[in-house]
Amino acid sequence: MFDNEIHLSFMSKSQNEGFARMVASSFVSQLDPTIEELSDIRTAVSEAVTNAVIHGYDNKNGTIYMDCYCEGKTVTITIRDDGNGIDDVELAMQPFYTSKPNLDRSGMGFSVMEAFMDKISVESEPNVGTTVTMVKTIDSSGAYVKEKQDE
């Protein structure tokens, strides 16, 4: 049982990338994160949702699901699509690898998620979809500063 959770589904439109990272960052705010932790989570969510829009659904209409859970100081975020899936997850996660080199993509999406979160896992099946699960534990120093101010 989690302390708190939210479940969201939205259309795979690029406008919703900003919406998704804003929702995730609002949800995580309850754990008193530092500005840097919040920004890390916003960036990782943006990467996962962007992948779902561009690669999962090829910029066509589809539904993206975002679930956020918190337990203690640990937040778990899953981003799921029912799209194309990834043939070779290991290859897709290589830094600078992009399946769409003509699109000016950096190929750094998964590397950013790995660098900015504590743990990420990717489950994918061709023509079924992809689920990215990201976990980050919030350092309690943010909360500490707040408690000190409250005294």
Partner 1 sequence: MKIIGTAEGKKLYVHLIGELDHHSAKKTRDDIDRLLMNSYITELTIDMKDVSFMDSSGLGVILGRYKILAERKGSVRICGANRSVDKILRMSGIYSLVERS
What residue ranges bind partner 1 (CB under 8 A)? 14-15, 17-18, 21, 35-36, 39-40, 42-43, 46-47, 50, 53-54, 103-109, 111-112, 115
Q: Is 21 a catalytic residue?
A: no
Q: Which of 105, 125, 127, 151 is catalytic?
A: 105
Q: Is 17 a catalytic residue?
A: no
Please report how close the Cβ of residue 76 comes to partner 1 at its closest, in angstroms. 20
Please report how close the Cβ of residue 74 comes to partner 1 at its closest, in angstroms. 22
- Angle, helix 15-28 to helix 35-51, in steps of 10 degrees: 140
Please report how close the Cβ of residue 3 comes to partner 1 at its closest, in angstroms. 27
Q: Is 47 a catalytic residue?
A: yes
Residue 32 or 40 with smaller CB distance to partner 1: 40
The total of other beta-carbon atoms located within 10 Å of residue 105's CB is 17
DSSP code string of 68-102: EEEETTEEEEEEEE-S---S-HHHHTSTT--S-GG
Cα 35 to chain centroid distance, Å, stands at: 17
Please report how close the Cβ of residue 103 comes to partner 1 at its closest, in angstroms. 8
The residue with tokens 């504590």 is 118
Q: With b meaning 16 or more CB within 10 Å and e meaning fewer, what string describes 25-55? A: bebbeebbbeeebbebbbbbbbbbbbbbbbb
Residue 42 or 80 with smaller CB distance to partner 1: 42
Residue 102 or 127 with smaller CB distance to partner 1: 102
* Distance from the first to the final alpha carbon of the chain: 32
Q: Which of 16, 21, 42, 47 is catalytic?
A: 47
Q: Which residues are catalytic?
A: 47, 51, 105
